[in-house]
């Protein structure tokens, strides 16, 4: 069925289409109750790439400068609490299987158990603050797509091939988590994540990025 869908220009199969707010115009019924989503996603134009990059640099640089006193306190607390390095890195995979290392405050001891300071950082989400350096380095965006701890095809063979050729980078924040449709789960809801990333790519604008950022800042519960 997947091979047939590819020949017809489709890339991702599902047993039922998404809800009305998600990509209905791109979903069609093939047969036997199987729906497919087309891969006709337009790449970003040069001016859009420049605008999004400028948005990323402005936001990440501003937050890092404003947060310098707090960052200094966190670095000192980590050193006093458990010693050792203050940062940790994690390998993440993009949709095209490109890898990069995220930078975080270290929250675990050498043996892998959470430290006292690490628990507070994880609960508050402050452990992710150094990932703004990934944004400045051009490896991530403030708002973008999901990334994964292992190659996506190892998790879900039906992931959208359309996103593999996307010019969008992994993001600190995502569309799905902001509008409350996508709450953290283990294992993650991969179908929903792919749908939300497709929606974001198709509807991207600086206004949408600003909306996601502001919604996150003022949300009572933020799923970062």
Q: Is residue 125 part of a domain?
A: yes
Residue 115 and residue 4 in one domain: no
Q: What is the pLDDT of residues 145-171, one digit of tens each?
A: 988 887 765 555 445 555 666 778 999
Same-domain status, 36 and 124: no
* Percent of the chain whose predicted confidence (pLDDT) is above 90: 36
Q: For residue range 36-53, list pLDDT tens digits in order.
A: 555 455 566 788 889 999
C-alpha closest to that of 88 among 99, 103, 78: 103
- Do 51 and 34 fall within a single domain? no
In a domain, 224, yes or no: no
Tokens in use for 174? 């995502």
- 52 and 34 fall within a common domain: no
Residue 91 located in a structural domain:
yes
Q: Tell me, what's the pLDDT at 12?
A: 47
The whole-number pLDDT of residue 62 equals 96
- Rounded mean pLDDT of 57-70? 95
Same domain? For 177 and 145 the reply is: yes
Is 124 part of any domain? yes
Q: Are residues 189 and 89 in the same domain?
A: yes
Whole-structure pTM value: 0.74
Q: Is residue 223 part of a domain?
A: no
The range of the structural domain enclosing residue 35 comes to 1-40
Q: Are residues 55 and 140 in the same domain?
A: yes
Same domain, 2 and 112: no
How do residues 171-222 score in pLDDT, each as one tens digit? 999 887 776 555 555 455 677 787 788 888 888 888 999 989 988 887 655 4
Sign of the CA dihedral 31, 192, 138, 49? positive
Q: For residues 28 and 49, state if they share a domain.
A: no
**In-domain check, residue 79:** yes
Closest to 57 (Cα-Cα) out of 141, 126, 130: 141
pLDDT of 32 strictly over 80: no
- Both 162 and 130 in one domain: the answer is yes
For residue 10, give the nearest of 25, 22, 27 by alpha carbon: 27
CA dist 57 and 214 (Å) reads 17
Asked if the structure places residue 58 within a domain, the reply is: yes
pLDDT digit string, tens, across residues 81-110: 988 899 999 999 887 778 899 999 999 988
Give CA–CA dist 132/224, Å, rounded. Answer: 13
Higher pLDDT: 10 or 140? It is: 140
- Looking at the structure, do residues 36 and 91 belong to the same domain, yes or no? no
Q: What is the pLDDT of residue 125?
A: 86
* Domain membership flag for residue 99: yes
Overall domain count for the chain: 2
33 and 93 both lie in a single domain: no
């Amino acid at each position: 069925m997947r091979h047939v869908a590819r020949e017809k220009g489709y890339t991702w199969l599902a047993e039922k289409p998404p809800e009305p707010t998600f990509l209905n115009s791109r979903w069609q019924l093939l047969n036997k109750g199987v729906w497919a989503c087309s891969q006709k996603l337009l790449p970003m134009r040069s001016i859009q790439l420049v605008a999004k990059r400028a948005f990323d640099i402005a936001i990440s640089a501003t937050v890092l400068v404003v947060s310098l006193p707090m960052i200094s306190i966190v670095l000192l607390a980590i050193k006093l609490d458990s010693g050792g390095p203050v940062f940790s890195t994690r390998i993440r995979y993009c949709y095209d299987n490109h890898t990069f290392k995220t930078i975080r405050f270290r929250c675990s001891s050498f043996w892998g158990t959470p430290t006292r300071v690490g628990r507070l950082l994880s609960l508050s989400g402050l452990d992710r603050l150094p990932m703004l350096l990934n944004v400045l380095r051009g490896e991530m965006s403030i708002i973008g797509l999901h990334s994964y701890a292992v190659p996506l095809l190892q998790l879900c063979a039906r992931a959208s091939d359309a996103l593999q050729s996307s010019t969008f980078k992994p993001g600190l924040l995502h569309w799905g988590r902001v509008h409350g449709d996508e709450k953290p789960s283990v294992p993650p809801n991969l179908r929903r994540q792919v749908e939300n990333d497709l929606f974001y790519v198709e509807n991207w604008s600086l206004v949408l990025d600003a909306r996601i950022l502001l919604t996150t800042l003022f949300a009572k519960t933020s799923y970062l």
